[in-house]
Amino acid sequence: MDSALRDPHNGSAGARSPANGTTRPPSTPEGIALAYGSLLLMALLPIFFGALRSVRCARGKNASDMPETITSRDAARFPIIASCTLLGLYLFFKIFSQEYINLLLSMYFFVLGILALSHTISPFMSKFFPANFPNRQYQLLFTQGSGESKEEIINYEFDTKDLVCLGLSTIVGVWYLLRKHWIANNLFGLAFSVNGVELLHLNNVSTGCILLGGLFIYDVFWVFGTNVMVTVAKSFEAPIKLVFPQDLLEKGLEADNFAMLGLGDIVIPGIFIALLLRFDISLKKNTHTYFYTSFAAYIFGLGLTIFIMHIFKHAQPALLYLVPACVGFPVLVALAKGEVTEMFSYESSAEILPHTPRLTHFPTVSGSPASLADSMQQKLAGPRRRRPQNPSAIYEDSNAKDPAAAAGSREGREASAPQGLEKKED
């Protein structure tokens, strides 16, 4: 996971021009300001829109868009897994040919990028389709096994509009695969960031603090302690980072002197900011105080990262500045408002939404699976009156209590029997 902000060419020792082996000319102040400002804007867009979409995702009914909840155990293990992955990529680039590794990774991210971009633009594109557009529903279902042991592997629902978005995303994917253009790279990177913030949900604030604290140490160690992260970021030709050329004003769209920002610096703080937005909504005060506070804290932290990097001309671990800002500012606001207890007791995964009934306890039932399902249904719906299965049993029971009614009903049945026989004969 690349999560450091860096300017690999301007002011870096050993940065060479690929054309003639000479040192690149320094970028103009206007070009540097444009590059840094564009990176800041591109980082803010997926956090803002991804957080809004995460609220709709939590309330959605489509099983294909259900969020993945990160628990405290997942948060504690994530920095270790990320470190192993980063070190593994570093060793792969050292041992094997960089060209073949990037070819495999390009094909992999080509498929992922198309799906991510299609999912990102689908809500926006739906507004441009006419009302009489023939929109048909489809379902992609892969199962394993048969009978009672059948298990769903993939269950994805989509429609004709999604197929149109998939076609447009494929065009961008082919463009990226053939040219590796920085605009196509950024389109995929933004799509990955939006989907990450939307679909990855922290279950509570404590889990977010564990995750951000662990990645804080991870980022500082791999950027300042070794050259592993910088080496992987420069060698890894995949849309795992946002880039913007510092020489755009001089060379136009063919510029090649890039400043870059890892997607980890967007997604990791972004899912914490999205959690605070859902916490704001749960308070039902019609204010988004914690969301706007953390969003402003992110702007401050990333701006400080850019400033430090520009002053010292060295790659900076952005989470070194983002984590204290994104966690500290909302906690200070909670302290001032006396809502620290509510903040840390909030459970995002425990939100009871209108369309998602939840069990408060599990009944103990022995017998067949059918009896278990029937018992659970009774617990959810409350006590119900059972409908009698045999109408004659009611007659016999009531007639036993009332002999006069029994005699009348018996005569009625005897009188109606010949009529039924006559009808059969006709």
Q: In what order do the strands lie in the sheet with 241-245?
A: 5-6, 258-262, 241-245
What does the alpha-carbon distance between residue 30 and residue 246 come to, in Å, rounded to a whole number? 8
Average pLDDT over residues 29-40: 92
Please give the backbone phi and psi of residue 242, each rounded to the nearest 5 degrees, phi first: -95, 135
Q: What are phi and psi of 202, to 5 degrees?
A: -80, 140
Q: What is the pLDDT of residues 208-231, one digit of tens each?
A: 999 999 999 999 999 888 888 888
What's the pLDDT at 365? Answer: 42
Asked whether 258 and 252 are in contact (CB, 8 A), the reply is no
Averaged pLDDT of the chain: 79
Q: Is the pLDDT of residue 389 over 60?
A: no
pLDDT digits (tens, 9 = 90+) for 351-373: 534 433 333 343 444 444 444 44
Residues with Cβ within 8 Å of 328's Cβ and at least 6 positions away in sequence, in order, are 297
* 18 within some domain: no
Residue 132, pLDDT score: 85
Structural domain including 183 reads 29-125+151-345
Q: How many alpha carbons lie under 13 Å from residue 57 in its C-beta half-sphere? A: 30
Catalytic residue flag (residue 265): yes
Per-residue model confidence (pLDDT) at position 4:
55
- Considering the domain boundaries, does residue 7 fall inside one? no
pLDDT score of 415: 47
Residue in 2, 7, 162, 219 annotated catalytic: 219
Closest CA to 159 of 191, 126, 192: 126
Tally: H helices and E strands in the chain = 15, 7
Nearest alpha-carbon partner for 218 in 362, 319, 287: 319
Is pLDDT of 11 > 70?
no
pLDDT at 39 over 60: yes
Q: Is residue 380 part of a domain?
A: no
Is 219 one of the annotated active-site residues of the chain? yes
- Domain annotation covers residue 319: yes
> Band of the pLDDT at 204, cuts 50, 70, 90?
very high
Model confidence band, residue 173 (pLDDT cutoffs 50, 70, 90): very high
Is 421 within a domain?
no
Q: So what's the pLDDT on residue 105?
A: 86
What's the number of domains the chain is made of?
1
User: Which of 357, 259, 342, 270 shows the shortest CA–CA distance to 305?
Assistant: 259
List of residues 6+ apart from 363 with CB closer than 8 A: 375, 376, 379
Residue 214 backbone dihedrals phi, psi, to 5 degrees? -65, -40
Q: Please check the confidence at residue 390 and state whether its pLDDT lies above 80.
A: no
Q: Is the pLDDT at 316 greater than 60, yes or no?
A: yes
More confident residue, 388 or 144: 144
Instruction: Compute the average pLDDT of residues 8-19.
Output: 37
Residue 344 has pLDDT above 90, yes or no: yes
The Cα–Cα gap between 280 and 272 comes to 13
The position carrying tokens 């301007």 is 10
pLDDT above 80 for 174: yes
Query: 184 with 175: CB under 8 angstroms?
Result: yes
Among 2, 7, 247, 265, the active-site one is 265
For the record, the structure tokens of 213 come out as 């604290």
- The residues pairing with 316 across neighbouring beta strands, listed in sequence order, are 5
| Residue 73 domain-assigned (yes or no) | yes
The answer on pLDDT for 405 being more than 80 is no
Res 395 pLDDT > 90: no
Residue 416 pLDDT exceeds 80: no
Residue 297 falls within a domain, yes or no? yes
424 is a domain residue? no
Band of the pLDDT at 104, cuts 50, 70, 90? confident
pTM of the model: 0.74
